[in-house]
Each structure stands twice: as structure tokens, then as C-alpha cells.
Structure 1
């Protein structure tokens, strides 16, 4: 091996190592930034819940409106909607996409916000995260203590215009996006985007009526 070849090899090796270091740093920054974005959102939501009177809270309560804004500030409903619909999303018109997102948000709101009253100071612990090869997506691992059990909840996040946003949630390994996509795939196989939107609206209304019946008992 000639001296020239050795010097060239050393230079290439140094550059390669430098690139690896830079990539590693980028991944670390992405993971840190995603964790911080999630931590800030969780702290904000927890503070609101702890300082609210949840006994008589309902869908029209001011605290629900505040929580909705906070959640939509950390959740990318564009990405969430696109992934739940799957390939058919590209066949939706801009109007249909907007109507679907509104209907989907309404369904999620009435489905999950009814559990707000169950909040009892549960804490979310961030356990770490991992990024994809490009550092554009991060999965943040967390644990929530619920009824004396630590439940694993992972948040999949992406960089959306310089802001880390959640696009999927995995509870004990079960993907929220995948769960809805299975349901929507069957509906779209037989129907149209407008029919899917109508079914979401109908389902949200049924859940709302069921909850109203429970509240009056």
C-alpha cells in the first residue's frame, strides 16, 4: 500500500466518520426536539386537567374547548386523516378532505373526551425515543400509570414545517391509525368518500346520544 493511497484512505475514512457523527447528532436533535414537543403538550394538558372541575364537564364545557385546541396543536390531523384513509385519500377532493377531517375530529372528540372525567392525576413518563434513518420521523416511548398499572403508549411524530407533530398513537402496541384504517377500508371498498363522511357523522351523533342517556341516569 503506497503512502498516497494510505493518505487518501485516511482522508476518506475521516470524512466518512465525520458524516456519521453529523448524522448521529441530527438524529439526537430530532429525538430530543420531538420529546420536548410532546412533553410540553402533555404538561399543558395535565395542568389544564388538574386545575379544572371535571365532575360536571360536558362536550360544551370551556375546558373541553381548551383541551381540543391543545390536542390539535400537537396532533397532525392532515397526516392522521391521510393515514387512516390510506391510498384512497388521494382520490378525495379538497372539499372532501376538509369535511372528512372535521367529521373525524368530531368522532374522536365524542369518543375519547367522555373519559376526561376519569382523569385522576395520571402521569406520563417519557422513556426514550428512536428515529428513522433520515431523522424525519421519531417514535417517542412513554408509559402511563393507569389503575396501578404502567401502560406503554408510544407516539409517532414527524417534522411538519419545523414543528414536531403526532401522527399515530400506539397503546400496548396497537396502532390507532391502523385500527381506524381497517374500518375505513371496508367502508370505502363498498362506498364513496361522501358516504364515509356521512357514516362518521352518524357515528359521532350516536355516541353523543348514548353519552347523553348515561348522563341523565
Structure 2
């Protein structure tokens, strides 16, 4: 899966609060996607690639709107239930750090992009939905498929997976994590994530 497309898709998740659970999830996604696109287009410092500022933006805006524990558990797969509470905590921390820096590095690519949404196919009582959209460039070219999987909790809608060009983010990471766990165990996965974050922090 092209890394740039994953980063592009997730960077578009930034935006307004998910405070209103009764609102339609597709309308919520439209609202905060538009807000973040407009914010990036209006901020030359974000466009110039200020990683510190971009990381702060990602950490403060996207992460509160994601059920990150579920996302991490799904990415780790069956091994998640075998992990100790401390291992789960560390994996979540390192995975979060990795994704925040990844998304931050992609924000500069969205300044010439726009989103088009497809009609929501869901019943009012559904607690999990898929919001389907595509990313189109002002410069032309083929649109990029971008779908969001959300769940309805007690008082909010939360993202727990993302699909870019037919590949779901959780599935993509699950394969990588499973390979590392099979070779080196859960501690090996932790060490791998820590090393990736260490190397990324030097750039």
C-alpha cells in the first residue's frame, strides 16, 4: 500500500469535535474534513512542513476522535489478548507516536485536494458505519478512494479504521505486526516500534 496515500487519508481526519452523537456520521466527517483542509490552505507554516507544529495539530485534533485502543488491538490481532497490560500500554504509546509523526509529515500534501462524499448507506440504529468518499486533486488525475469506519459510543462517533484504495489501515498494519510478533514476540514488536520512532525523531 503506498505510504503516501495512507498518510494523506489520515491527515484528512483532522478537524472539529465529535461532541454531537446524534448527528449523522457522514455530516460530521464532511464538517471536520472541510475545516482541516481550509486550515492547511490558510497556514503557510503548516504547508512549509513545520513538523513540531504539525505533530501538535495531529495530536490535539485527530487522536481525541479515534478509538485508538480498538485500532491498536485490531492491528495487533490475536496477540493483543496475550499481551500484559504493560505491553499493551507501551504498544499503544509507540504506535500512537509513530502515526502522529506519519500523519504530520503528510499534511503538506493536502493543500490542492478536495473531498467528494458518497451517500451514506446505514440504518438509523446502526452503531458501526462506513463513510465513503474520494479525494480529488485540483490538478487532475485519478481520484483516491478514502473510506472511514466509525463506531457510535455512548456520546460520540469514533473512527477505528480507514480504507485507502481498497486497503484498510488496520489490515495493513496487522500484517506487519504479525510478521514481527511471529519472529520476535510482543517485546520484539515493541522494540521495532521504539526504534522506528527513535529514527523518525532524528529527521
Equivalent residues of 1:126, 1:142 under 8 A apart: yes
TM-score between the two structures when normalised by the length of structure 2: 0.78
Which of 149, 154, 174 is matched with 1:161 structurally?
154
Q: How much is the aligned-residue C-alpha RMSD, in angstroms? A: 2.4
**4+ aligned runs moved over 4 Å, structure 1:** none
Deviations 1:2-32 (A, max 9, x none): xxxxxxxxxxxxxxxxxxxxxxxxxxxx996
Which of 56, 59, 73 is matched with 2:51 structurally?
59
2:144 aligned with 1:151: yes
Deviations 1:180-205 (A, max 9, x none): 00011111122232321121121123
Q: Which has the larger radius of gyration?
A: 1
Deviations 1:84-137 (A, max 9, x none): 011111122222222111111111122232122223241112212234896121
TM-score between the two structures when normalised by the length of structure 1: 0.73
**Structure 2: how far apart are the matches of 1:199 and 1:173?**
27
Quote how far apart the aligned CAs of 1:178 are: 0.4
Equivalent residues of 1:142, 1:154 under 8 A apart: yes
Q: Which has the higher helix share?
A: 1
Which aligned pairs between 1:30-45 and structure 2 lie closer than 5 A? Answer: 33-45=24-36
**Structure 2: how far apart are the matches of 1:93 and 1:35?**
36
Equivalent residues of 1:144, 1:151 under 8 A apart: yes
Which of 172, 181, 194 is matched with 1:188 structurally?
181
Unaligned regions of 5+ residues in structure 2, if any?
A: 1-20
**Structure 2: how far apart are the matches of 1:85 and 1:177?**
9
**Structure 2: how far apart are the matches of 1:46 and 1:180?**
26
**Structure 1: how far apart are the matches of 2:152 and 2:145?**
23
| SS of match in other structure, 1:166 | strand
Higher RCO (CA-CA < 8 Å; seq separation 6+): 2
